Amino acid sequence: MTGAGAESAGVELTGTRPAPAESAPAESAPAGTGAAEPGLTEDETGLPPAALTDEAARLDAADRLRAKRDAFTLDDVIYLDGNSLGALPRAVPPRLAEVVAREWGQLRIRSWEESGWWTAPERIGDRVGRLVGAAPGQVVVGDSTSVNVFKAVVAAVRMAQERGAHRDQILVDEATFPTDGYIAESAARMTGCTLRPVAAGDVPSAVGSRTAVALVNHVDYRTGRLHDLPGTTAAVHAAGALVVWDLCHSAGALPVGLDAHGVDLAVGCTYKYLNGGPGAPAYLYVARAHQPGFDSPLPGWNSHADPFGMASAYTPADGAVRGRVGTPDILSMLALEAALEVWDDVTIEDVRAKSLALTDFFLRCVEDYAPAGRVRSLTPAAHTERGSQVALRCADAGEVMAELVRRGVVGDFRRPDVLRFGFTPLYTGFAEVERAARVLAAVLKEG
């Protein structure tokens, strides 16, 4: 993979259909349940029923994950924003009610032991670990992604400098989600390093003998581009440096293979494709080989070898527990644990196959329905370079997304001109995808 601009491999959407007639007859929209109106009928979009409608029905009928949708609270709204905030799993409200009423309400402080609260970060970490290819004992859940980026980057610099004090550079993916960049800059100042932004695809050629650590997003949050984790990790290791991967947009959407590819450290959030809820705790992966050397810049009492010894001197615990800091947010953490139950009988390979089928199908529908030249895909056409979202560049993206939301198709808008549509294979269906493209085409035509 090269560091070529994100647009270079994007899909050209030329629009193959003639523009629909201006005077398409209007019909009343079907009743919806949310505040937003559901999508327009086919006639209102100005597009006749197409072969793609039949194909969507065939794809839905063959979808092995189809029944999983029932595990979520959803309505008529076509929800394509699970790459920002996943939908609510049905298992969560009753579990939270039980935690509040019994574990907190009745057992109170006994729950730290008897309800397994104290060990929840490691226990839930193992569940997340299964989804990102980490064997048990290497993932700990807690804090935000931002805080975990800080722990991981500083600890990585410390480990790299143990190998050689001359390692005084931090490479950061130049298109990174901003929080990673801000924190990497602060980490650089604290550790006497300089920060060098480079395109994620250029990390393998930019890494060198002065590099301490490279911090890279697995999937670009704007374009949906999937970066080469195995190749980049190998190149960083060949230069004697460490790599920290931000998995926010890949965990729960595609296989990551942390152990298989020898990743050093990784972080990610759980409120997107893992559906843990707003502000759900993030996670930190510390590869087993690095655990003895992991020197946390936030050595709180929860990561102490003997937290209740209340010693004045800090002695780190063994294992991934070293990544803990202070008292975990138990309510959010146990909501996440309940949310992760939907994964018990799902393989990430099936999720990936459906994710690619969904994004392929959406791109085809947009190509077929949208007026020529109104949108341009920023998302790579190659499956090996695509996450689980489609980003469309559109001059009036803000207005277009506001209108889509009003008509019951929820994606999001990234300034200045990007429409983002996230596809969550556990609950998104092909008919919804076709419908979303149809409504988008109508809005683009009107705009």
Ligand X SMILES: Cc1ncc(COP(=O)(O)O)c(C=O)c1O
Count of other CB atoms within 10 angstroms of residue 12 = 11
What's the min distance (Å) between Cβ of 399 and ligand X? Answer: 23
Roughly how many angstroms between the first and final C-alpha of the chain, as a whole number? 37
- SS3 of 295-332: CCCCCCHHHECCHHHCCCCCCECCHHHHHCCCCCCHHH
Residues counted in the chain: 447
**Is 232 assigned a ligand-binding role in the annotation?**
no
What's the min distance (Å) between Cβ of 204 and ligand X? Answer: 20
Amino acid found at 383? H
Nearest to 422 by CA among 223, 278, 280: 223
Q: Is 248 in the site for ligand X (CB under 6 A)?
A: yes
Nearer Cβ to ligand X, position 180 or 434? 180
Q: Is 283 in the site for ligand X (CB under 6 A)?
A: no
Stretch that binds ligand X, among 101-109, 138-146, 296-304, 434-442 (CB under 6 A): 138-146
Helices (H), 31-119: 42-45, 51-61, 92-98, 111-114
Separation of alpha carbons 378 and 112, rounded Å: 47
Nearer Cβ to ligand X, position 13 or 219? 219
**Is 145 assigned a ligand-binding role in the annotation?**
yes
- Contacts to ligand X from residues 180-219, by CB under 6 A: 180, 217
What's the min distance (Å) between Cβ of 223 and ligand X? Answer: 12
Classified as helix, coil or strand, 355 is: helix
What's the min distance (Å) between Cβ of 282 and ligand X? Answer: 5
> What would the x/- binding string for ligand X be over residues 139 to 158, using CB under 6 A?
-----xxx------------
Amino acid found at 293? G
Q: Which residues are catalytic?
A: 177, 246, 271-272, 420
Bridge partner list, 412: 420
Structure tokens given for 236? 């960083």
- Per CB under 6 A, the list member of 269, 358, 365, 405 interacting with ligand X is 269
Annotated binding site for pyridoxal 5'-phosphate: 145-146, 177-180, 246, 249, 271, 301, 327
- The footprint of ligand X (CB under 6 A) covers 144-146, 177, 179-180, 217, 221, 246, 248-249, 269, 282
Annotated binding site: 145-146, 177-180, 246, 249, 271, 301, 327
